[in-house]
Chains A and B, each alone.
Chain A
Amino acid sequence: MKEAHPGEARYAKIEQTAERRSTAARAVTYFFLILWAAIVLFPFYWMILTSVKSYGAYNSEYIPKFFTLSPTLQNYVDAFTAVPLARYFVNTIIFTLLTTAIMIVVITLAAFAFSRLDFKGRNAAFVLFLSLMMIPGELVIITNFVTITNLDMRNTFQGLILPSVTSVFYIYLLKENFEQVPDSLYKAAKVDGTSDMKYLLKVLVPISRPTLITVTILKVIECWNSYVWPRLITDDENYFLVSNGIQEIRENGFGRENIPAMMAAVVVISLPLIGLFLIFHKKIMAGVSRGGTKG
């Protein structure tokens, strides 16, 4: 017993050092993680802060203040009255809802055909569809621009919406999901004389609701943030979406550089998606890690 003592003491010391070291490591880890969180959140804080500073206060601050004691909502009023922000907003909502709704119908029908129906040429068609996934959007946008221009669909919602109502990737995702539903349900429905359409709407769609919701949310995010196509296809302000609207505001809006009003517009534009994210963050993150790409 007695001989063991020195060894035990040494062991305790080693353990203590190790513990201290791991505490230090943990502290450093937390420091950097919180630092990155601050870098992520700071622009959001800054835009909200700037949006409630008055025009005069903002421009008189040579050294910008990190808080304001006299917040004002005047900038939000300006954002909706001095520039057609409300119109951009409504346009984006129409565009987003229609595009997403049409896409869901198109991909559901296609996924159903690929997963349940038996017809000649199905596998060949599916391989062809999959190969389309590799086509980058930048390559086809040139002809689409010319097509839409020639069809006189510039500055219309059809022109904005039609090119983006299908997604091979989502068809693929949904097909995989439909296939997980046991085939026996389909056979049973057939025996009962249920039509294919009825089976799709009453059985497959309700069962696959989680995937459909994920696809919907991802598409809504994509639509809300789309910039390039709307920019090419609209030059009439009445058809601008929020991304183009904010660019227009930056270049021509509010007369002299009215940064606080601009930031108010930025807040208004960002709010819907941030709200969506706060409600659905688990679903969105799971969905993106399954099939999103950006960057």
Chain B
Amino acid sequence: MIKWKSRFNNIKGWLYLLPAILFLGFFMVYPLIDVFVYSFEEGYNSASQTYFGTGTYNYSYVLHDPYFLQALKNTFLLVVITVPLSTGIALLISVGLNSIKPLRNLLQTVYFLPYVTNTLAVGLVFMILFKKTAYSDGLVNLLIQWFGGESVDFIDGPYWAKMFVLCLYTIWVVMPFKILILTSALASVNQDYYKAARVDGTSKFRTFMRITLPMISPMLFYLVITGFIGAFKAYSDAVALFGTNLNAAGMNTIVGYVYDMLYGDSGGYPSYASAAAIILFAIVLTITCINLLISRKNVHY
């Protein structure tokens, strides 16, 4: 009787898990294995589902594809520019926010607004603000002219201008999350430390460097890691600004390259897409590991 009951309990436990296991197995575990298989199948034809042989040709093709190299360059630039800038600005804003009382809640709510907006939709607003058309140079260009600068088409113009808008929009999009995390980290620092510092007559800058920064360093570090990962996966921001044909605009990202290989006018090559995706995650993994190593020295838990 007891034996029967415990067997029934075993089955029941797995029954409750069954839906989750089915979905995860089918849409996560199996694809994860399959993507490695794909990446080593040479000359895979998605129509007939046949391939010539196995090997590393897909990787070498991707690594020699000028579009991939362009995407790699764009993604790296985006990461190197936006992660430090957005984290730094978010830190400044959070410190400022933490030092005031009136308007604080209101501002905090306002700052979070971009988080709940549709990246594709609001990207269009950025596009019309920066784009030069036959009718108008666009608001930003008029401002530049007003200050005596020369107008430039940020959407169809030179590379640096396009990169600038992409970085700006990316920062605008990622800021809410960082400000939210940092303000709550700052608010949770024990006030006694500050009181002690004030009694000792420590300067504000020194208090910040010696108390605030070390106390929030785990959260700061968490943001840097998630920032790196997020920026490496950038894609929809670029689509929002430059349209779906990112290769033509020269603004593709690695993730964009993966999807273009999979689907669309240049699509139908899941093997190349898999190889590119695996390269991307090798990069992300490496950088995350480096980050972890650095943090071990500098983060105070």
Instruction: Tell me if chain B binds chain A.
Output: yes
Interface stretch among B50-58, B61-69, B123-131, B156-164? B123-131
Of listed A141, A232, A292, A293, residue having the most chain B CB within 10 A: A141
Interface size class of A (residues with CB under 8 A): 35 or more
B235 within 8 A of A: yes
- Cβ–Cβ < 8 Å partners of A64 in chain B: 136, 138-139, 142
Contact assessment for B270 and A44 in the assembled complex, using a CB-CB cutoff below 8 Å: no
Count of CB-CB pairs between chains A and B under 8 Å: 270
| B103: min CB distance to chain A, Å | 8
Give Cα A228 to B26, complex, Å.
19
B99 within 8 A of A: yes
Interface residues of A in 93-147 (CB under 8 A from B): 105-107, 109-110, 112-114, 117-122, 125, 129, 132, 135-136, 138-147
B109 within 8 A of A: yes
The residue that B125 contacts in the complex, of A120, A166, A231, A266, with Cβ under 8 A, is A266
Given A40-B114, A142-B270, A269-B118, residue A105 in contact with residue B19 (CB < 8 A):
yes
Main SS of the interface on chain B?
helix
A210 within 8 A of B: no
Contact assessment for A132 and B28 in the assembled complex, using a CB-CB cutoff below 8 Å: yes
Contact assessment for B180 and A285 in the assembled complex, using a CB-CB cutoff below 8 Å: yes
A9 within 8 A of B: no
Give Cα A262 to B231, complex, Å.
28
- Cβ–Cβ < 8 Å partners of A19 in chain B: none
Contact assessment for A63 and B136 in the assembled complex, using a CB-CB cutoff below 8 Å: yes
Interface size class of B (residues with CB under 8 A): 35 or more
| B18: min CB distance to chain A, Å | 8
Contact assessment for A142 and B277 in the assembled complex, using a CB-CB cutoff below 8 Å: yes
Main SS of the interface on chain A?
helix
- Cβ–Cβ < 8 Å partners of B119 in chain A: 225, 227, 243
User: Which B residues are closer than 8 A to A by beta carbons?
Assistant: 9-14, 16-17, 19-21, 23-24, 26-32, 34-35, 38, 46, 86, 89, 92-93, 96-97, 99-100, 103, 107-122, 124-126, 128-129, 133, 135-139, 142, 170, 172-178, 180-181, 184, 226-227, 230-231, 233, 235-236, 239, 243-244, 255, 258-259, 262-263, 270, 273-274, 277-278, 280-281, 284
Q: A29-B99, A132-B24 are in contact. List 5 more A-B contacts (CB 8 A).
A: A43-B125, A138-B255, A142-B277, A228-B259, A277-B113
